[in-house]
A and B are shown apart, each in its own frame.
Chain A
Amino acid sequence: MTALFFRDIRLSFRAGGGAMLALAFFASVAALVPLGIGPDLKLLARIAGGVLWIAAALSALLSLDRLFQADFEDGSLDLIALAPQSLEVAAATKIAAHWLTTGLPLTVLSPLLGLLFGLPPQAYPALVLSLLLGTPAISAIGAVGASLTLSIRRGGLILPLIVLPLLSPAVIFGAGAVLAVLDGLSNGALGLLAAFSLVAVVLAPFACAAGVRLNLAG
């Protein structure tokens, strides 16, 4: 399955891949918000966590709709389904590759974008940690949606409707973790976010495999 992992990473950086696209989208949305809100530093600092989290969820969705669909359309998914490894393992591999090419770069870029919001220094560890813990959940839950919509033409339009409501706990805890630091409160949100993320990452491959099987039989 390392073969699938490295292939997906390679594809995401070749023409038509989503890695750089997601990163650029994330940066543009996050850069646009301070311009729209105006120079109210106090307000910007308070909304920074929420805006970055929403931008992260939206930019991950950009490349998620092709996660299984591209392999379905060219017939690769048939061959992956017949490979010695189970579809569950294949799904977990694809989720990991997606996170590594979108979630992780977004997390690394986030402190830089925090500067645009005038985020005070003590909030950066919470921001980065919350994205580090939470973006795997975005990839995992998004992959479940992608496996269900893989055979639908323009399934990318339905995907956010399925995935975004399921991501609301991650956004609440993730943005909440940053706010708690600003308010000087004790930070329980990160623990809840980690728990949510863990459950999502463990269960998603099974749901994805079921979704793929359903669509291959269609």
Chain B
Amino acid sequence: MNTALASLEVSDLACVRGSRALFRNLYFKVEPGRALVVEGPNGAGKTSLLRMLAGFLAPAAGAIALRVGDSAIAEAEERAKHIGWFGHQDGLKPQLTAKENLLFFARLYGSNPAHVVPMLDWAGLSRAADFPVQYLSAGQKKRLALARLKLSNRSVWLLDEPFAALDAAGKKLVEQMLAEHCATGGIAIIATHEAISLEASRMTLGNAVAA
């Protein structure tokens, strides 16, 4: 994996959904090789924050500055090219096999298709590789989505509830891949309710404030 050194700085960020302000005056910085765990009650805006960082949502106020290698990136469209996305929907096609799903994303993201089979082994899915995804369990689908994230070669990982539906071994897999990713200089921002054994900064999004 060739992930470049990345750092992310968020200043004075505000998120407004409808007439409700989810958060405002949010400041944080993630240095190269660091992970940030975002906690908070349901509806605190964790997913909205991740979607904002990915560039799907425009911030109501504030700025998101990404630095990859030597270049500073302010535009959301440029930032998107460095985002590795792990949403709470799996993004898998049920009619295609596990291998076909991964091959498609490898080609779409310009990753090496030869990495697909080793990645399936890594995720513990080598025996399920040729099954259509609709026959896989929820945990297996999560594992497949993790393999896809690892395959993406992106330096900024955004993970939304990565532990949901995973067994103990699967959770270890997540922690291990996050640690490896950070060790190569990448960064990760993880929204979760669950305890995570990873050297990471922590941030709690508070209850919604009235607009």
Footprint of B on A, CB under 8 Å? Answer: 1-4, 7, 10-11, 14-17, 73-76, 78-85, 216-217
Distance between Cα atoms of A10 and B95 in the complex (Å): 9
Footprint of A on B, CB under 8 Å? Answer: 51, 54-58, 80-81, 83, 85, 87-96, 100, 104-105, 107-110, 148
Distance between Cα atoms of A11 and B93 in the complex (Å): 9
Distance between Cα atoms of A74 and B90 in the complex (Å): 6
- On whether the beta carbons of B90 and A217 are closer than 8 Å, the reply is no
- On whether the beta carbons of A82 and B80 are closer than 8 Å, the reply is yes
The listed residue (B55, B57, B93) touching A74 by CB distance below 8 A is: B93
Distance between Cα atoms of A73 and B80 in the complex (Å): 20
In the assembled complex, the CB of A105 is this many whole angstroms from the nearest CB of chain B, namely 19
The 5 A-B pairs at the shortest CB distance, nearest first, are namely A75-B89, A3-B107, A75-B91, A14-B95, A216-B56
- On whether the beta carbons of A81 and B56 are closer than 8 Å, the reply is yes
Contacts of A1 in B (CB 8 A): 108
> Given the known A-B contacts A75-B87, A84-B81, are A15 and B95 also in contact in the complex, defined by CB atoms under 8 Å?
yes
> Given the known A-B contacts A4-B108, A7-B104, are A76 and B93 also in contact in the complex, defined by CB atoms under 8 Å?
yes
- On whether the beta carbons of B56 and A83 are closer than 8 Å, the reply is no
- On whether the beta carbons of A14 and B96 are closer than 8 Å, the reply is yes
In the assembled complex, the CB of B124 is this many whole angstroms from the nearest CB of chain A, namely 22
- On whether the beta carbons of A217 and B58 are closer than 8 Å, the reply is yes
Distance between Cα atoms of A81 and B107 in the complex (Å): 15
In the assembled complex, the CB of B21 is this many whole angstroms from the nearest CB of chain A, namely 17
Complex: chain B residue closest to A1, CB-CB: B108
Complex: chain A residue closest to B103, CB-CB: A3
Distance between Cα atoms of A216 and B52 in the complex (Å): 11
Distance between Cα atoms of A74 and B145 in the complex (Å): 12
- On whether the beta carbons of B58 and A11 are closer than 8 Å, the reply is no
Complex: chain A residue closest to B89, CB-CB: A75
- On whether the beta carbons of B95 and A82 are closer than 8 Å, the reply is no
- On whether the beta carbons of A80 and B108 are closer than 8 Å, the reply is yes
Distance between Cα atoms of A81 and B110 in the complex (Å): 14
- On whether the beta carbons of B85 and A74 are closer than 8 Å, the reply is no
- On whether the beta carbons of B57 and A82 are closer than 8 Å, the reply is no
Distance between Cα atoms of A78 and B104 in the complex (Å): 15
> Given the known A-B contacts A2-B107, A3-B104, A7-B104, are A78 and B95 also in contact in the complex, defined by CB atoms under 8 Å?
no
In the assembled complex, the CB of A37 is this many whole angstroms from the nearest CB of chain B, namely 39
- On whether the beta carbons of A217 and B91 are closer than 8 Å, the reply is no
18 new A-B contacts, CB < 8 A, other than A82-B80, A84-B109, A85-B108, are: A1-B108, A3-B104, A3-B107, A4-B104, A7-B96, A7-B104, A10-B100, A75-B87, A75-B89, A75-B90, A76-B93, A78-B54, A78-B91, A81-B56, A82-B54, A82-B85, A84-B81, A84-B110
